[in-house]
Amino acid sequence: MKNTVSKQDGHQAFIAQAEKAWRENSKKLDETYRLHYHMMPPAGWMNDPNGMIYFDGHYHLFYQHDPYQAKQGPMHWGHARSKDLVHWEHLPVALAPSGEYDMGGNAGQGCWSGSAVDNNGVLTLIYTGHVDGKTPEEVQCLAASTDGVTFHKHTANPVIGDSPDAERFGFRDPKVWKHGEKWYMIVGYGKDGIGKGIIYTSSDLLSWDYQGAAAESDGTMGDMWECPDLFPLGTDHQHVLLISPMNIAPVKNLYLAGNFDYDSCRFEQKHAAQIDYGFDFYAPQTLLDDKGRRIMIAWMNIWGATMPEQAHGWLGGMTLPRELTLAEDGTLRSHPVPELAALRGLHTAAADVALTDNEFVTIDGVRGDSLELDIVYDLAVTDASEVGVRVRCSEDGSGYTEIRYSITEQKIYMDRNLGGEGDGGVSEAPLPVQADGRLRIRLFLDRSSIELFAGEGRIAITNRVYPNPKDTGISFFARGGTAKLDTLDAWELSSVW
């Protein structure tokens, strides 16, 4: 269904038409790769999580959305909410391009990424209006809602009408938070080949003062920082800055941990590392919930990838919600939220399974495409060079995704070269053996995704895979010697849709 509303009809007419489109398009989906327990659009295209906020007893998740097609087009803000971070309810589209500042460019236009705040009980969205070919091309805008569902764009839009420099590469994705009585905004920016997160401050969300760059690339961290998110975590001045740096492939996401000074608006970086080592983790955003937890969700795809679900009428998943904490040494840890245990169904356990060199061991009852696996290898008693598990295995053994741990290199790999449709490639991450000589890997398999967590929150690897739905086998192995699968817990996970 095409958009036929004209600009004069106003924002609510665009919203009504957008909702009609996704409702109609959702009846025509091919369900093959639809995810069972990850957030995804009801139909059409989805990219970045936007406006994540805990408000009025719900976790709200907005997202970059084209309700008319499974392609990147004029960006709307889709909207979903959840009481438990597990079950999601789709709400009407929140924002549609409708103004001079967010509508009209041929290739790129719309309500691009941004954030949400609670402004004295008014749910307020701050987003980038993007119009290709216009000068300025990117401006920052506000929209607000008193019922948490219907959003009105502010008459003062754009509230930041231009970037600090006329010549720049990107000025978008505002993330706003309150500290004391003041609002702070970090915006993704790029100038002269250097990605930056620049800061504005305000007392009323309408009038903003530019404060310069909180942090910028040292020349190795990309030429534009998309979707920056700066937030306090830990004690004192400790803050974490999440960024999605452009043009430093293969790295697509980074966190910087250090201190932020609210007077000078400068961030002092102490650590920098990848947040997730997979191919399909981009534009993460966080919220603070009523329990004081910092929860992160990212887009579970990547620009430029082959995206087989597009041919099925939809595109895009969100990662599982992950809680972020800082370790004593100031580095970041991420763990899937414990609420996910609500999905657990049939449980199978095994212990002390001997793995001999290059034999593939299956365990009765352990197979499927919607599973949680908690795997512990005992590496104190092995002479193998590698241990691992193959998931989504075909009957004839020709298709699978292989997760292997190299004991000699102390590295974990996820190899999806034989994983099915879509892009191949091998993800890798450094992973020392635990102090007790064990290696614990948690895997969440959904129909077209795999998320791996290891190293007590240090390592996450997120990849989309598109195997034949019939390929549900799981097998464990060792290479170069024998090893022991110490314990295995496997749960079938139910669908939330």
Task: List the catalytic residues.
Answer: 48
- 75/376 with CB nearer ligand FRU: 75
209-238: contacts with ligand FRU (CB under 6 A): 226-227
CB of 253 to ligand FRU, least distance (A): 11
Backbone Cα Rg of the chain: 23
Distance CA 293, CA 207 (A): 30
Considering only 128, 157, 274, 448, the residue that binds ligand FRU (CB under 6 A) is 128
Cβ(361)–Cβ(483) below 8 Å: no
CB of 241 to ligand FRU, least distance (A): 16
CB of 11 to ligand FRU, least distance (A): 19
User: Pairing state of beta strands 122-131 and 109-119?
Assistant: antiparallel
The residues near 94 (Cβ < 8 Å, ≥ 6 apart) are 15, 51, 62, 76, 77, 78, 79, 125, 143, 145, 149, 151
Is 25 a residue that touches ligand FRU (CB under 6 A)?
A: no
Unique residue bearing structure tokens 């920016």: 189
What binding mask, one character per residue, do residues 64-103 give for ligand FRU by CB under 6 A, x or -?
A: x----------x----------------------------
- Give residue 475's identity as a one-letter amino acid code: S
Which structure tokens are listed for 383?
């002479």
- 64/463 with CB nearer ligand FRU: 64
250: preceding bond cis by omega (within 30 degrees): yes
User: Pairing state of beta strands 58-66 and 44-55?
Assistant: antiparallel
Considering only 173, 402, 486, 492, the residue that binds ligand FRU (CB under 6 A) is 173
- By C-alpha distance, which of 429, 389, 319, 317 is closest to 33? 317
274-313: contacts with ligand FRU (CB under 6 A): 282-283
Considering only 112, 377, 444, 476, the residue that binds ligand FRU (CB under 6 A) is 112
CB of 46 to ligand FRU, least distance (A): 10
Which structure tokens are listed for 486?
């110490």
∠ Cα 315 103 228 (to 5°): 60
For residue 244, the 8-state DSSP code is E
234: left (phi over 0), alpha (psi -120 to 50) or beta: left
Considering only 33, 40, 44, 48, the residue that binds ligand FRU (CB under 6 A) is 48
- 254/384 with CB nearer ligand FRU: 254
Considering only 81, 90, 172, 392, the residue that binds ligand FRU (CB under 6 A) is 172
CB of 21 to ligand FRU, least distance (A): 18
Q: Residue 20 pairs with which residues in a beta bridge?
A: none
- 78/422 with CB nearer ligand FRU: 78
Cβ(282)–Cβ(253) below 8 Å: yes
- 74/419 with CB nearer ligand FRU: 74
- 314/413 with CB nearer ligand FRU: 314
Distance CA 420, CA 448 (A): 10
Is 160 a residue that touches ligand FRU (CB under 6 A)?
A: no
Is 474 a residue that touches ligand FRU (CB under 6 A)?
A: no
CB of 440 to ligand FRU, least distance (A): 32
The residues near 236 (Cβ < 8 Å, ≥ 6 apart) are 259
The binding site for ligand FRU (CB under 6 A) comprises: 47-48, 64, 75, 112-113, 128, 172-173, 226-227, 282-283
